[in-house]
Amino acid sequence: MCQTLFYIPSTIFGFPIFGLGLANLLLAIIVLIAAGWRFAIIRKWDEEIGNYFAVFIVISVVLVIVPKMIEPGLGIPIRGYGVCMLAAILAALFLVLQLSKRKQISSELIFSLCFWAVIGGILGARVFYVTEYWQDMVQYENNQLKLTDTLYNIANIANGGLVVYGSIFGGILGSLLFMIRNKMPILVTFDLMAPAMMLGISIGRIGCLLNGCCYGGVTDVAWGIVFPEGSPAHFHQIEHGQTFYCGLKFTEQPIGNTLFLAIKEVQPQSEAEHAGLKPNMLLRGIVGVIDGKPLGWEIGTQRIIPHTANKFECCKKQQSGTWQDTFEWIAFLQKKSPKEKIRFDIYSDWQKRETHPYFITPTPSTVLPVHPTQIYSSILAAILCVVLLLLGRFDLFRCRNGLVFAVFLMLYSITRFVLETIRTDEDSFLGTGMTVSQNVSIVVFIAGLTLFAFLLRTIPKPEQLQKSITKK
């Protein structure tokens, strides 16, 4: 796990680089020169020039948002996830360009197609994620919606938050609209894009590994990986009572219509045991000291008392129905004041909201090894990329455009469904006992199988048979 690779300074000689700064100015100059050069050659405004300005608008918006990511004293973080996403896009583009030469499709069309596919893919991936984790995106203060922070959370993809299925659907839709508009052969082009998408997914999953997301369940296999303390996998293990944190294991305990955070187990001979904490005690809040001032986190209220949200930079998520924000608060206190004891307020009478304090010194927590599902996904995607490339050489697939794409839909949905049984970062969707991605996988597999069966029943066109014969 390596979320941040390095930092870019936010200013040069006192001038801002991002926002409406030097980077945007340089980008505008480059786009104007490129568009002017193109116009001077062809003497007319064409779609490629329009694409230049479309790219400028997209990147410019990103550059305006970037200053929100500045970390004081460090600069703009360059995330491993973002770098891998860029590498995935470039690799997929290169492969599509190579494959398109066989079908005699112009490179200019492919460049434009890939631009709309990438934009559609990113938007689709983010929309899918935001829809699934809407509670994480919305920010409130005093019961008032914080629009700016909410929009920033929605737009901030640098720290992760893209769903592969969303990128596939968005990329397909963006590509389809472009192909219809430019009268490109739809099935032929999707056949070219299928292995490229798998190559992109293979590289992109390495970004998931660096980001620490999309992790698997606890395992004792020799190749299991251990993420650092404070990682999403670690918090998941704490939330589900799989490992001790401050000498305690926690669980969610419902009483009536109220869901409490309860102590599941106390580590023997730990400071928590010596302090008198016992199983089944209900946790009301956590109080620590930062810069000599007591700051408390009240369980279930999603707020810090007194209000110091601007200081609580580690609490990026407020997941409904989970307690990750509580454990992030403990980690934050431990980081800011490692020598200070943390006060755990335990209900002595939860009906009267009366509590009793227990003081514990934060101690390192054991992180259990998990399945490297990101690596599994990367390897499987690379294998599927090779399989799709090889299938494209068989006569059956040469003569019937779209078969490679149909196989892509079926094989990817199968591998994704199986991998979801190992991953633990998603809960059951609508009581189905399966995750969102597993439910989507079933639909995608049926769609791919239907398309495959339909194409097999079609009679190859004479020109397709001739192309197959001449290429032997």
| pLDDT of 179 higher than 80 | yes
How is the chain split into domains, by residue range? 8-74, 76-217+371-470, 232-360
**Is 135 or 277 the better-scoring residue by pLDDT?**
277
Which pLDDT does position 15 carry in this prediction? 79
- CA 363 remoteness from chain centre: 30
Distance between terminal CA atoms of the chain? 47
Query: Higher model confidence: residue 74 or residue 404?
Result: 404
Do 1 and 231 touch, CB atoms closer than 8 A? yes
d(CA 33, CA 26): 11
Dihedral Cα 173, 175, 180, 183, nearest 10 deg: -170
DSSP 8-state assignment for residue 227: P
Number of neighbours of residue 443 by Cβ within 10 angstroms: 11
Contact status, residue 44 vs residue 50, Cβ threshold 8 Å: no
Poorest-confidence range of 98-102, 254-258, 344-348?
Answer: 254-258
- For residues 45-67, average pLDDT: 74
pLDDT band at 150 (very low <50, low <70, confident <90, very high): confident
Integer Cα distance of 131 and 165 in angstroms: 13
Peptide bond into 462 cis (omega under 30): no
d(CA 437, CA 452): 22
- In this prediction, residues 47-74 reach a mean pLDDT of 73
Q: In the predicted model, what is the mean pLDDT of residues 100-108?
A: 79
Token pair of 82 as six digits:
């973002």
Distance in angstroms (rounded) separating the CA atoms of residues 406 and 234: 38
* DSSP class of 387: H
pLDDT band at 253 (very low <50, low <70, confident <90, very high): confident
Amino acid occupying residue 299:
I
Q: Confirm if 166 and 127 have CB atoms less than 8 A apart.
A: yes
Q: Helix and strand tally (H, E) in the chain?
A: 16, 13
300: three-class secondary structure by DSSP: coil
pLDDT reported for residue 316: 33
Pick from 120, 90, 126, 101: which is nearest to 200 by CA?
90
| Lowest-pLDDT range of 258-267, 373-382, 409-418 | 258-267
Higher pLDDT, 93 or 142: 93
**3-state SS of 155-167?**
HCCCCCCCCHHHH
pLDDT score for 300: 56
Can you tell me which residue has the tokens 């650092």? Answer: 228
Least confident of 79-83, 129-133, 268-272: 129-133
- Percent helix, strand, coil in the chain, to 5, is 50, 15, 30
DSSP letter at 176? H
Least confident range of 272-281, 284-293, 408-417? 284-293
| Structure tokens that stand for 333 in this block | 């206190």
Name the residue among 232, 230, 262 with its Cα closest to residue 373: 232
Which pair of structure tokens corresponds to residue 468?
Answer: 């197959």
Q: Specify the fold of 232-360.
A: Pdz3 Domain (2.30.42)
**7-11, 130-134, 176-180: least confident range:** 130-134
Q: What is the DSSP letter of 218?
A: B
Question: Read out DSSP for 35-84?
Answer: HHHHHHHHSS--HHHHHHHHHHHHHHHHHHHGGGGPBTTTBEEEEHHHHH
338's tokens: 């490692």
Calpha distance 470→463 (Å, rounded): 10
Report d(CA 306, CA 82) in Å as an integer.
35
**Mean predicted lDDT score pLDDT of the chain:** 79
Q: How confident is the model at residue 230 (pLDDT cuts 50, 70, 90)?
A: confident
Model confidence over 15-37: pLDDT tens digits? 777 777 788 788 888 888 888 88
Place of tokens 């737009």: 155
Residue 471 has pLDDT above 60, yes or no: no
pLDDT tens per residue, range 191-204: 988 999 999 999 98
How open is the CA angle 290-294-300, to the nearest 5 degrees?
105
CA 209 to chain centroid, in Å, comes to 11
Residues 451, 407: Cα–Cα separation, whole Å: 9
Least confident residue range of 244-258, 309-323, 326-340, 368-382:
309-323
